[in-house]
Amino acid sequence: MYGVGGIPHTQWNGVQETVGGYPNGNWQAIIGTFEALYASMVGDDTPYEIDINGYIGEQVSYDVTVSMDAEMSNYNQKLDIFVVEDNIWSYWSGASSYHNARNVARDWLVTENVYISSAGESETFSGSFDLDDNWNADSVKIIALVQNYTTKQIYQVSQVNINDMNPDIDDDGILNTDDNCIDIFNPGQEDSDGDQIGDVCDPCDNLVYVMGNINGDTDGSGAPVIDLMDVLTLVDYLLLGDSNECQESVLNINGDGFINVVDVIVLVQSIMSGNN
Spatial separation of the C-alpha atoms in residues 167 and 56, rounded to whole Å: 8
Query: If residue 49 lies in a helix (H) or strand (E), which one and from where to where?
Result: strand 48-56
Bigger pLDDT: 29 or 222?
Answer: 29
d(CA 63, CA 162): 12
Chain-centre distance of CA 17, in angstroms? 28
Q: What is the Cα–Cα distance from 98 to 174, expressed in whole angstroms?
A: 45
Separation of alpha carbons 52 and 55, rounded Å: 11
In one letter, which amino acid is 97? Answer: S
Supply the pLDDT for residue 38.
94
Phi, psi of 161 (to 5 degrees): -70, 135
Rounded CA-CA distance 131/54 in Å is: 14
- Domains of the chain, by residue range, sit at 9-41, 48-164, 203-273
pLDDT band at 12 (very low <50, low <70, confident <90, very high): very high
pLDDT given for residue 8 in this prediction: 84
Q: What is the pLDDT of residue 129?
A: 96
What is d(CA 87, CA 57) in angstroms, rounded to the nearest whole number? 24
pTM above 0.75, yes or no: no
> Which residues have a Cβ under 8 Å from the Cβ of 113 and sit 6 or more positions away?
74, 77, 78, 79
Average pLDDT over residues 45-50: 96
Crossing angle of helices 228-240 and 261-273, in 10° steps, is 180
Domain 48-164 has CATH 2.60.40.10: yes
Amino acid at 70: A
> How high is the mean pLDDT of the chain?
90
Q: Which option is the CATH number for 203-273: 1.10.3130.10, 1.10.1330.10, 1.10.260.40, 3.40.50.2000?
A: 1.10.1330.10
d(CA 40, CA 146): 19
- What value does the mean pLDDT take over residues 184-195? 88
Q: How far is CA 157 from CA 2, 4, 18, 120, in A?
A: 17, 21, 20, 19
Q: Over pLDDT 90: what percentage of the chain?
A: 59
Angstrom CA distances, 113 to 82, 197, 244, 246, stand at 15, 24, 21, 23
